[in-house]
């Protein structure tokens, strides 16, 4: 049977949408766009319905016209989102803190949305468990379990669907004098988690479409760490003098491990001195569509 002229197959609309998302992620990783742009882009979600409708109407009749319309609309939406984001006045962050109250250990969980996340260390001898700034104001919950403090920090808006009009901001610095268990959960963010000076004994980091720079503890003894990453760019730095055992499960993406420090042993990477090292990290990485670099 001779193929009719109009039977050209479905227009690759979803492919173009994926290309547009890839361009946005690339520009963010290069520092051209901030992660707060997602809050503005979400306002344009009806454009997707418009493009789907036009694709149904024009399918098989004028694919080049549909291609031109789609490209122009996507470029226009991205440009409009960038202009709106850059025209906003800077966010005014609110300070927060939590006194140590004589605790000898702590666990902390941070839930964060789309924006800029910075976690670091307070000076030794600080009277606070944590101090920082956030936009909007952080929701803070603290309770005592004997001599252990349990802290929850949440900046509302985790995930693509609820983070609102502006990229979130959170800076949190923890006491280096208290052993700490830390959980960090974030959506589409630019995150730097510097634990170099902290006594983090257990760490769990769960990131979505983010750029994460993670610096692990230098003198915490034994640290158990797990990193879960979606469509993310993840850089993990293990300080010199810290041994490591690394297990990685990657779906689609890339994994780069410094094998001069962490030779491959079976299906893992492990420092030769791992079993006897005073300071060591047992690291598990699970990723989807992610780029992972461990050094």
Residues 44-99 have pLDDT tens digits of 778 878 877 877 776 666 777 777 888 888 888 878 877 776 666 566 779 999 99
- Beta carbons of 91 and 157 less than 8 angstroms apart: no
Percent of the chain's residues with pLDDT above 70: 83
Average pLDDT, integer, range 178-194: 93
Q: What is the average pLDDT across 120-125?
A: 97
Q: What confidence tier does 107 reach under pLDDT thresholds 50, 70, 90?
A: very high
Stretch 175-185: mean pLDDT: 97
- C-beta of residue 8 within 8 angstroms of C-beta of residue 63: yes
pLDDT confidence of residue 3: 45
Instruction: Please tell me the predicted confidence (pLDDT) of residue 36.
Output: 61
- Segment 220-266, tens digit of pLDDT: 999 999 999 987 889 999 999 999 999 998 877 789 999 999 999 99
Instruction: Tell me how far apart the alpha carbons of residues 97 and 157 are, in angstroms, rounded to a whole number.
Output: 21
With a CB cutoff of 8 Å and minimum separation 6, the contacts of 245 are 268, 269, 270, 271, 274, 280, 281, 282, 283
Res 207: pLDDT = 92
Q: What is the pLDDT of residue 87?
A: 65
Assign residue 159 a region: left if phi > 0, alpha if psi is -120 to 50, beta otherwise?
left
Contact 206, 158 (CB under 8 A): no
pLDDT bucket at 38, cuts 50 / 70 / 90? low
* 240 contacts 260 by C-beta, under 8 angstroms: no
Peptide bond between residue 136 and the one before it cis (omega within 30 degrees of 0): yes
Q: What's the rounded mean pLDDT across residues 98-117?
A: 92
User: 33 versus 148: which is more confidently predicted?
Assistant: 148
Residue 32 has pLDDT above 50, yes or no: yes
Question: So what's the pLDDT on residue 252?
Answer: 77
Instruction: Report the pLDDT value the prediction gives residue 7, as an integer from 0 to 100.
Output: 44
pLDDT of residue 86: 67
């Amino acid at each position: 049977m001779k193929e009719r002229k109009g039977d050209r197959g479905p227009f690759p609309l979803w492919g173009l949408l994926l290309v547009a998302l890839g361009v946005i992620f690339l520009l963010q990783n290069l520092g051209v766009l901030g992660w707060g742009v997602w809050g503005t882009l979400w306002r344009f979600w009806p454009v997707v319905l418009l493009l789907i409708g036009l694709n149904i109407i024009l399918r098989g009749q004028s694919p080049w016209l549909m291609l031109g319309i789609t490209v122009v609309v996507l470029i226009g939406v991205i440009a409009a989102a960038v202009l709106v984001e850059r025209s906003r006045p800077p966010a005014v962050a609110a300070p927060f803190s939590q006194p140590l109250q004589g605790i000898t250990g702590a666990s902390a969980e941070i839930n964060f949305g789309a924006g800029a996340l910075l976690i670091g260390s307070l000076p030794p001898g600080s009277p606070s468990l944590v101090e920082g700034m956030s936009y909007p104001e952080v929701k803070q919950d603290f309770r005592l379990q004997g001599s252990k403090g349990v802290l929850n920090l949440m900046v509302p808006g985790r995930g693509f669907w609820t983070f609102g009009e502006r990229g979130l901001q959170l800076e949190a610095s923890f006491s280096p004098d208290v052993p700490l268990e830390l959980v960090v959960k974030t959506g589409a963010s630019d995150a730097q988690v510097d634990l170099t000076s902290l006594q983090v004994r257990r760490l769990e980091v769960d990131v979505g479409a983010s750029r994460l720079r993670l610096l692990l503890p230098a003198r915490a003894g034994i640290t158990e760490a797990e990193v879960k990453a979606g469509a993310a760019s993840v850089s993990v730095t293990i300080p010199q003098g810290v041994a490591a055992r690394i297990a990685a499960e990657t779906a689609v993406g890339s994994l780069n491990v410094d094998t001069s420090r962490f030779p491959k042993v079976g299906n893992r990477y492990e420092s030769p001195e791992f079993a006897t090292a005073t300071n060591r990290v047992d690291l598990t990485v699970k990723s989807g569509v992610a780029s992972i670099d461990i050094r």
